[in-house]
Amino acid sequence: MLSSRYLHLHEALGLGPMWLNQNAKIIHAAPQTAAAAAPVRPKAIAADTAQAVRTLSAGAHRARTAAIATAQTAKPAVRVPEAAPKTIAETPAKTEKAAHSDNLPRLDVTIRPSEIMVVSICPSTEDSLHGTLFSGDVGTLLDNILAAIGLKPEQAHKTAWVKTAPVFTALPDAEHIRSELAEMQNELTASQARAVLFLGKIFDSPDMIGLMNELCAERPHFVIPHPARLLMQPQLKAQAWQILKPLKQLLAKAV
């Protein structure tokens, strides 16, 4: 069997007549339908699109045009990570105890009539923990000093200017010291002490000299190194004794 399209192609190429077997059968191509044969024209597509657009209302057409333009020009939104919420540190209210004593307990002192009042600037951390001023070897040396001037331990009112151990420092700040002056005046009055013995180099500072004068007024007062320092520097004991001798003489006098 031979397709008729092949015969037409043979003739179009100028190959002359084509000799075929007499038994050969020619199959004619099926005629194309008008719909299948008709090429699709671009103008027809454009016309159909225009016709579809014309069927839209004016408002819908404007909305469609705007949507297309937005889709073509809009950039994808960049997602910005949300900032983590700031943590606000809670600042507890500062009480006087927390601000000055590092939460150590305030030293309690018992006031009773005494010959002298012995004053340290503040309790040590060990004193605050034990609840006793001049604890351990420091207290033993202080009692020996009192004995050297003719006093028994119970004849001295032992106290601290500031009743709490300071925060992160060896000494309390000036403002705190000043704030305790009124209480010290009350203690001195209640103890009826004839003289005051201050322990520690801090009492030699100009600021403390002014406060000591304000506290003691007409009462005699004396300053020697703190017993804790005397334990570490025994050579200072001779100097301390020179200061203590006038105090001993004062106490030896009849009232």
Tens-place pLDDT, residues 123-144: 887 887 778 899 899 999 999 9
Structure confidence at residue 141 (pLDDT): 98
Asked if residue 86 has pLDDT above 90, the reply is: no
DSSP for residue 30 = P
- Inside any domain, residue 93: no
User: Residue 151 — very low, low, confident or very high, per pLDDT cuts 50/70/90?
Assistant: very high
Asked if residue 196 has pLDDT above 60, the reply is: yes
Q: Are 165 and 122 in contact (CB under 8 A)?
A: yes
Same domain, 123 and 10: no
Same domain, 24 and 148: no
- Region 168-178 average pLDDT: 87
Q: Are 153 and 231 in contact (CB under 8 A)?
A: no
Same domain, 121 and 218: yes
Residues constituting the chain: 255
User: Residue 108 — very low, low, confident or very high, per pLDDT cuts 50/70/90?
Assistant: confident
pTM for this predicted structure? 0.60
- Inside any domain, residue 126: yes
Same domain, 12 and 137: no
Structure confidence at residue 110 (pLDDT): 87
Same domain, 1 and 118: no
Share of the chain above pLDDT 90, in %: 47
Asked if residue 179 has pLDDT above 90, the reply is: yes
Strands 26-27, 2-3: pairing is parallel
- Exposed / middle / buried, residue 51 (Cβ in 10 Å: 0-12, 13-18, 19+): exposed
**Mean model confidence pLDDT for the chain:** 75
**Bigger pLDDT: 89 vs 169:** 169
- Inside any domain, residue 42: no
- Inside any domain, residue 74: no
Q: Where are the alpha helices (DSSP H) in the chain?
A: 4-12, 34-37, 42-54, 58-73, 96-101, 125-130, 136-148, 174-179, 181-191, 206-216, 227-232, 237-252
The values of phi and psi at residue 14, to 5°, are 70, 40
- Inside any domain, residue 205: yes
- Inside any domain, residue 167: yes
CA distance linking residue 193 with residue 189, whole number of Å: 8
Query: Quick one: how far is CA 250 from the chain centroid?
Result: 56
- Region 182-202 average pLDDT: 97
Structure confidence at residue 128 (pLDDT): 77
Same domain, 121 and 205: yes
Same domain, 21 and 106: no
Structure confidence at residue 164 (pLDDT): 84
For residue 119, give the H/E element and its range. Answer: strand 116-120
Tally of domains within the chain = 2
Which domain CATH number covers 223? Answer: 3.40.470.10
- Inside any domain, residue 183: yes
**Bigger pLDDT: 2 vs 164:** 164
Structure confidence at residue 90 (pLDDT): 35
- Inside any domain, residue 54: no
Asked if residue 223 has pLDDT above 90, the reply is: yes
Structure confidence at residue 29 (pLDDT): 54
Structure confidence at residue 79 (pLDDT): 53
**Bigger pLDDT: 10 vs 135:** 135
Same domain, 135 and 9: no
- Region 171-193 average pLDDT: 95
Structure confidence at residue 97 (pLDDT): 42
Q: Each residue of 14-26: pLDDT tens digit?
A: 555 555 555 555 5
- Region 51-65 average pLDDT: 48
Same domain, 225 and 126: yes
Q: Which domain range does residue 17 map to? A: 1-29
